[in-house]
Amino acid sequence: MSMLEKVWKRGKAFLGVEYPIVSGAMSWISNYELCKAVSDAGGFPVLAGGNMPVDLFEKEVDRCIEGFNKPFAVNLITIAPNYKSHLEILEKKEAVEFVVFAGNFPRKNEVERVKAAGKKAISFASTESIAAQMIRFGVDALIIEGTEAGGHIGYVSLAVLLQQVLFKVGEVPIFVAGGIATGKMMAHLLLMGAAGIQMGTRFVMTEECTAHENFKKAFMKAPARSAVSTPQYDSRLPVVAVRALKNKGMDEFGRLQLKLLKQLEAGEIDRMAAQYEVENFWLGALRNAVVDGDVDTGSMMAGQSVGLMEDIKPMQELISRMVNEAEAELQKVKELMS
């Protein structure tokens, strides 16, 4: 038995795939094509629901059901306007075995609905107390994601989350995300107790990813420090931080917040409508970058691992390289300890 088989046994058994390497859901990026490539290479794909129109969402889910012969998950954004409709659709899809809740933490009854439909529920956990709450709600696995990650993020680094959650919670498998891009790092996270890892930014840099060429080229050039998180100017307008490459779009988002705060003060808009405007900005700006290639004013969501991107590879080659690197690193550790 290889060293990897020993350390990722739990994650592999839980997901039912060859490698517990999860492809994190990225709106406009984690589509059928990317998920198919991940699945064929032995990893675990997660289809991004985002705020996809309901009819299109169901079509994408059906494509995955028909196109894959291995397990996959669908990611639901709890704060998306179409979230409730997406959840209702998944309840009827027996072939979808996993649901990943994102955006915010799911309610207990939402976890129960997923489980009643015969599916496994996975949620993010940003603290030990939230991890405990999600386990009480009945989730089957957790994902801890450091602030190094791209897109919507929390505020705590992965190094701290490992100690706060991974080292203390053992009831369910825990998958680790945020800033991961190499097999060597994966090996050490598995040794720490992770059931598997999740990557997002790294999967953008694959031949099968349908993101615009301009988007990928920008990733290739970007240093880690250029992936910055957005600020929140006022607590009256809560903003879930977004990590993306700094560009004109990032500046535009700052101006949007200031405009919305003025409208709130003047009573021209309520808090819920303002929050919707914030989320709608990111959905539109991300599409402009990923689909249309507007890297100047579009949203270039990326994790700090963007600084480790050196090439664009076929998915199979990328995952094989990750696995080989991890196995070699574990052998080094074994020799060091013997």
Instruction: Give the residue, 276 or 123, on which the prediction is more confident.
Output: 123
Q: How far is residue 8 from each of residues 71, 119, 143, 163, 221, measured CA to CA in Å? A: 17, 22, 15, 19, 33
pLDDT, average across residues 54-79: 95
Place of tokens 């959650």: 165
CA–CA distance, 278 with 25 (Å, rounded to integer): 20
pLDDT tens-digit map of 289-338 = 999 999 999 999 999 999 999 899 999 999 999 999 999 999 999 999 98
Look at residue 1 and tell me whether its pLDDT is greater than 80: no
Angle of helix 54-67 relative to helix 32-40, nearest 10 degrees? 20
Q: Nearest-CA neighbor of 56 among 77, 82, 29?
A: 82
pLDDT, average across residues 41-62: 95
Measured over the CA atoms of residue 61, residue 25, residue 189 and residue 324, the dihedral's sign is positive
Look at residue 167 and tell me whether its pLDDT is greater than 80: yes
Which stretch of DSSP H or E encloses residue 17? none
Look at residue 137 and tell me whether its pLDDT is greater than 70: yes
Question: Could you tell me how many residues make up the chain?
Answer: 338
pLDDT, average across residues 81-96: 95
CA angle 195, 149, 300 (to 5 degrees): 140
Look at residue 59 and tell me whether its pLDDT is greater than 80: yes
CA angle 135, 145, 37 (to 5 degrees): 100
Share of the chain above pLDDT 90, in %: 80
Question: What residues contact 55, with CB distance under 8 A and at least 6 apart?
Answer: none
> What is the topology classification, in CATH, of domain 3-211+312-337?
TIM Barrel (3.20.20)
pLDDT, average across residues 59-73: 97
Cα Rg of the chain, angstroms: 19
pLDDT of residue 280: 80
pLDDT tens-digit map of 222-278 = 999 999 998 888 888 877 788 999 999 989 988 998 999 999 989 999 888 888 888
Residue 152: pLDDT band with limits 50, 70, 90: confident
The answer to whether 213 touches 293, Cβ cutoff 8 Å, is: yes
pLDDT of residue 172: 98
CA–CA distance, 276 with 284 (Å, rounded to integer): 12
Residue ranges of the chain that CATH labels 3.20.20.70 = 3-211+312-337
Q: Whole-prediction pTM value? A: 0.94
